[in-house]
Structure 1
């Protein structure tokens, strides 16, 4: 295990987070609040510690997949713990476990909250909650890769450990340039949404927080009813951008290139929009009797479908009161998630598509035992290692889900509450159904259950394996190896 590179990356992450604390500190000055002192103090301490563990010693730049996965997992844990401390110091979330749950929910872009009255928070803490979504959306390690001059071909191990999806590749030959391109697209889309929201008369502070939440597909709002009290125009804009941020960012890169038409040929993107369209149509028809007219029903259906499939988690209405068919579709969308290579969570559309094709492939073998059946995505044959990794991922996903269900059952809540609580956290969505519905919160759970759900949020955001590797004793042995 290459401990020097691990300390280097974790230290740089702490220094990066210290810089991020300037956002709430400045907000505190603007609104004349005292909470900014806590963020500034923690930021200074984090910067000093980060510098001490990464700035003095030289590190070995050669590392492999296990170091990459451990670096990412530890970085996210440290990021979350440090980010939670100001909540405790200010007294706005006095319990560390609650503060950690809230912060992990922010960085993993989950949006699940333990707060019963979010509007009681200071502007300082509200902006920090939402900004964690933006930082975690594209990934803190991806941001580091974009700004740090780290040479060598080993950095792909970091990108693979943090970026969502079964296959992670470079957009351009240099990985650092790939990271820059991703964050440039991310930043431009963020600015566009913010400007549009301000133009249609959303308060600037609200527009900034909601944009951070939409871009990171997070879901932390500044009002108790999430997006419900804003105008229909604002809801429509947020709906559109939630769906856009759920698209594979490779498609946007292709759109900016010479072969723009190829962006519409990406199979996962076509399935993604197809699922959204079908879900909106069915839910609109199913809930039309719950609203004054079908156009209002369409607005709520489109918003909730876009919010859930992209794992953003905003809400305009209490969809827990919808008919069972619509609720079942919502649960499916929770599991499905957005596209690989987006800021969304969930299993990812690409994996769902591959698994569906695998079923038809198996059926084909029974019909034509000697036939040669291949599974293709975008016209390319998927190799067995990729198919096996997807199948193992699904199995691991189910195993963690089942174990989490048993652990949460200690609270003696009903099946629907526990099942959707895990779905909401493991898939980085936010709201579930029943006692953790869109108008409720997660404060009903014990501290132990909150830690279980916190692990689920981190495991879901980091695609399972980085968090699981931390529990393998052999991974910590000193020595090099692939």
Structure 2
């Protein structure tokens, strides 16, 4: 095996140290609200993480051996799995979620920005635990490795190599010569969005605590709320539209914001992925609004439009917040919701799903196939942003789509042993793999995943991480070719 284990162990030490640092805000929330058990749980866990992380980093200094792609896949997969395992400890030891498997499911859902939950009474949890639960969205939204590279630029590993394995979308653009600078620039935009939304929500009447929790779920496109009825708890249209705007912005390719700053809005909106993303969102919102007014029982046009826009943006960006129970909407409206659940957000955004860029290229490949059937001798080149799409990129995208479909059906088959109906089972896997959050029927927007067995929760947890890491990063570790360098 040619994996550099020392680099992997060192990265685990860095991860432990970073998680320890990230628990400090939640620890302070526990102190402020005088939650003694949570204070003890956070203090012990973060102390262990910080100390063990420092010891590991001192014991395993940066290696002179360059990190290869093989190392990057293992490091990223291990980081996300270990982060979820460790972050579940304070939830479990504090008694907030006493069952460790349930706590693990919740943290996997948090870091992967899925938003699926096993909690039947969210509001009964301590405020510090709800804060930590939502803060995992904020950490997972941009990526754990990207976050580590942003705050620890001298971590001693090649950040670009391993971050490319966790970045959502077919490619990761390097915006500056040094990846640490790229990570800082991305997080600068991320932090600006976080601060801006928090302020706007507070202007609308939210407390600082509520505003932060909803903001973590919005900019991370995660969907955890501290209220059982999600954003429906806040009846103000102003608050709902603020969240709609920020969900849409965070489902956009973050690299385009650099294009906006450097070259202006015209250059940004020339991007074909962005145009398709906004086009699908607008068309689905319009049709659902009409359907709700015609046969869905809505009588207020603005309410219909707001609910439609909110649910379309929430599901398409894979945020998973809810202002209405779309599971009781007319069939046509539900089919459109299901459609955007399968498209996902843009590449290099905080959103999940297959990604609009892949859908766009697949549509172009279909059009190319039809054209060649009619004119076999025609030279037809698939282009994107004026550049030809290489056969390698096209093959990788089609491989991903077919693998995605395979995992959906395989996962559905595995959890079908629970005996729930077909739509519940199928949508559970789709929503976890696509990092969406709610599904349909027994796992709809007003339900949760507590109905599943421990085995199924573990399977769904792995699917959440696999979906967030673009499938291949996670599943290639199961291949004998990965562990046997002679087969590579």
Report the TM-score range of the alignment, normalised by the length of the smaller protein.
over 0.9
What is residue 139 of structure 1 aligned with on the other side?
143
Change in CA separation of 1:152 and 1:57 when aligned onto 2, cut-off 3 Å: closer
Following TM superposition, by how much is the alpha carbon of 1:154 offset from its aligned partner in structure 2, in angstroms?
4.5
Q: How many residues align?
A: 481
Matches within 5 A, 1:391-430: 391-430=398-437
Q: Which residue of 1 aligns with 2:362?
A: 355
Q: Distance in 1 between matches of 2:380 and 2:155?
A: 41
TM-score under structure 2 length normalisation: 0.96
How far did 1:40 drift?
1.6
Alignment of 1:426-445 (within 5 A): 426-445=433-452
Could you say if the C-alpha distance between residues 169 and 153 of structure 1 is closer, same or farther in structure 2, counting changes exceeding 3 Å? Answer: farther
Contact 1:2/1:60 (<8 A) preserved:
no
Mapped to 2, the partners of 1:337 and 1:167 lie a distance apart of 16
Shift of 1:60: 3.5
Partner in structure 1 of residue 309 of structure 2 = 302
| Contact persistence 2:344–2:355 (CA under 8 A) | yes
Equivalent residues of 1:300, 1:317 under 8 A apart: yes
1:278-310 Cα offsets, whole Å, 9 max, x none, are 010000001114223111100100000010000
Q: Residue 8 of structure 1 corresponds to which residue in structure 2? A: 10
Q: CA deviation at 1:52?
A: 2.4
1:241-266 Cα distance to aligned partner (Å, 9 max, x none): 11111010011111111454211111
Equivalent residues in 2 for 1:184-203, closer than 5 Å: 184-203=188-207
Aligned with 1:162: secondary structure? coil
Q: Which moved further from structure 2: 422-431 or 46-55?
A: 46-55
2:389 alignment partner in structure 1: 382
- 1:318/1:438 contact within 8 Å kept: yes
- Closer/same/farther in 2, CA of residues 363 and 290 from structure 1, 3 Å limit: same
Deviates more, 1:315-324 or 1:33-42: 33-42
Inter-partner Cα distance in structure 1 for 2:403 and 2:257: 31
1:370 corresponding residue in structure 2: 377
**SS at 1:6 equivalent:** helix
Within 5 Å, give how 1:66-465 maps onto structure 2: 66-150=70-154, 154-230=158-234, 231-288=236-293, 289-465=296-472
Report the RMSD for the aligned CA atoms in angstroms: 1.6
Q: Which residue of 2 aligns with 1:38?
A: 41
Q: Which moved more, 1:386-395 or 1:164-173?
A: 164-173
Report SS of the residue matched to 1:333: helix
CA contact (8 A) 1:217 1:343 kept: yes
Indicate if the aligned counterparts of 1:312 and 1:429 stay in contact, CA closer than 8 A: yes
Residues 9 and 60 in structure 2, CA contact (< 8 A), matched pair in contact too: no
* Cα distance in 2 for residues equivalent to 1:360 and 1:55: 56
| Secondary structure in structure 2 of the residue aligned to 1:361 | helix
Q: Does structure 2 conserve the Cα–Cα contact (< 8 Å) formed by 1:242 and 1:306?
A: yes
In structure 1, list runs of 5 or more residues that go unmatched. Answer: none
Determine the C-alpha separation between the residues in 1 that align with 2:477 and 2:32. Answer: 41
Moved more, 148-157 or 230-239: 148-157
Which sections of structure 2, spanning at least 5 residues, go unmatched? Answer: none
TM-score by length of 1: 0.97
Query: What do residues 345-403 of structure 1 show as CA deviations (whole Å, max 9, x unaligned)?
Result: 00000000011111111111111111111111111111111111101111111111111
Which is further off, 55-64 or 80-89?
55-64
